[in-house]
Amino acid sequence: MKIKVRNPIAELDGDEMTRIIWKLIKERLILPHLDLALEYYDLGLPNRDRCEDAVTREAAAAINRLGVGVKCATITPDADRVAEYKLKRAWPSPNGTIRGILDGTVFRKPIVARNLRPAVRSWTRPIIVGRHAYGDLYQAVDFVVPGPGTAELVFTPRAGAAGAAAGGGAAPAGGAATEQIRLSLHEFTGPGVLMGMHNTDASISSFAAACVDYALSEKVELWFGAKDTISKRYHGRFRDLFAQAVEERQAEFAAAGIAYRYMLIDDAVARVLKHPGGILWACSNYDGDVFSDMVASGFGSLGMMSSVLVSPGGRYEFEAAHGTVRRHYYEHLKGHSTSTNPIASIFAWTGAIRKRGELDGSPAVAAFAGALERATVGLVEDGVVTKDLVELIEPRPASYQSTEGFIDAAAERLGRELERTGA
């Protein structure tokens, strides 16, 4: 008998090889065991192009409404992809759009197995990367400068609203900026490029609060690194609001026996490579994008990293922390067998299912997610792996599984796990 899931989950489909894997996971690992309603949104690039990206905004609204979403990896098209898929335009990153609408924080955590040897020898415990999920590069306005001219940053205050004084400092207490502020960026003598980025105190503060909550719940040390020596006001604002959020919970940090450390991002990168792990490393949007991939690769594979976007209102979107595996997809289209690691996509599903069970008060649903995770990691620990993990496993397995072969093995082991636990 299938386990009944009380409320729906928003399902966001994706692109290329991960779309193939997504369907296999759903059909062979999820739906045979769960009576689950899925509210489906096709975020595949052809459909996003047809509807001019409306489906991405609809999917974000569904996550807001339902509380839980699960997302397949998607393409963010560059010029080559625009030509390949004959797109109307280079549509923005679906992840960036959804992060902007939900205004959440992304937490990425390695999926570990006892026999999986990290590439960084000092890492013995997971390093969780908390990524600020709003603004910066991902909502920037950029421009190709055609020739000589003056670039300026202009702020026009809204009538009656408190603003910032020229140069970026705070307005006088009780006062308001009433005149337009213009800051010179660069005097171009020829062609070039420029970019304008932004963030908000509200988003930075919610990011800091989410990281503090997560560190306290996991009882791990909290790091935050930025470049405030160069970006004195922009990154300095992050530093100050983060320190404020930690100070408000300092007694809880002391009770939990954990600490908060601020450092320059340069120092954080150098230190993390020698650290044993067991920390939450909070990063700005771009830094989190880059360093979560570094941490995933350091622990074994991009296919071994879980990811969840948490909004201030308690909405959750789970996804794999890697791309669409383009090269394997081209091989799949030729009819060739592939060995693509599906574990991060499996954990996206289990994360969403567990959270749905927790929110609904359905322990059997949450228990199913745990059973599927144990079955999946158990395969790795028994040496049943895809090609990307072969050289990282000790002892090294003699062979590896195809994409479908691994999922079929997971399905068989899941059946045994459910029988063992009586689920």
pLDDT average, residue stretch 157-186 = 66
Parse the chain into domains and list their residue ranges: 1-117+300-423, 126-140+198-296, 142-196
Give the pLDDT band of residue 172 (cuts 50, 70, 90): very low
Identity of residue 341: N
pLDDT average, residue stretch 234-255 = 96
Phi, psi of 296 (to 5 degrees): -60, -45
CB 343 within 8 A of CB 373: no
CA–CA gap between residue 76 and residue 73 (Å, rounded): 10
Residue 300 confidence (pLDDT): 76
Residue 165 confidence (pLDDT): 45
Least confident of 90-99, 146-155, 300-309: 300-309
pLDDT over threshold 80, residue 74: yes
pLDDT average, residue stretch 325-344 = 95
pLDDT average, residue stretch 273-278 = 94
**Mind listing the pLDDT tens digit for each residue in 339-357?**
999 999 999 999 999 999 9
Q: Is 45 exposed, middle or buried (0-12, 13-18, 19+ CB in 10 A)?
A: buried
Query: Cβ–Cβ contacts within 10 Å for residue 141, how many?
Result: 9
Residue 176 confidence (pLDDT): 56
Query: Cβ–Cβ contacts within 10 Å for residue 360, how many?
Result: 16
Give the pLDDT band of residue 64 (cuts 50, 70, 90): very high
Q: What percent of the chain has pLDDT over 70?
A: 96
Q: Is 180 exposed, middle or buried (0-12, 13-18, 19+ CB in 10 A)?
A: exposed
- Model confidence, pTM: 0.83
Beta bridge pairs of residue 282: 130, 224
**Mind listing the pLDDT tens digit for each residue in 288-322?**
989 988 998 888 777 888 999 988 888 999 999 88
Give the pLDDT band of residue 421 (cuts 50, 70, 90): confident
Residue 227 confidence (pLDDT): 95
CA angle 370, 9, 54 (to 5 degrees): 140
- On average, the pLDDT of the chain sits at 92
Residue of higher predicted confidence among 420 and 148? 148
**Mind listing the pLDDT tens digit for each residue in 396-412?**
999 999 999 999 999 99
pLDDT average, residue stretch 269-273 = 95
DSSP class of residue 393?
B
In CATH terms, the superfamily for domain 1-117+300-423 is Isopropylmalate Dehydrogenase (3.40.718.10)
Identity of residue 345: S
> Where in 25-71 does DSSP place strands (E)?
34-35, 38-42, 68-71
CB 286 within 8 A of CB 140: no
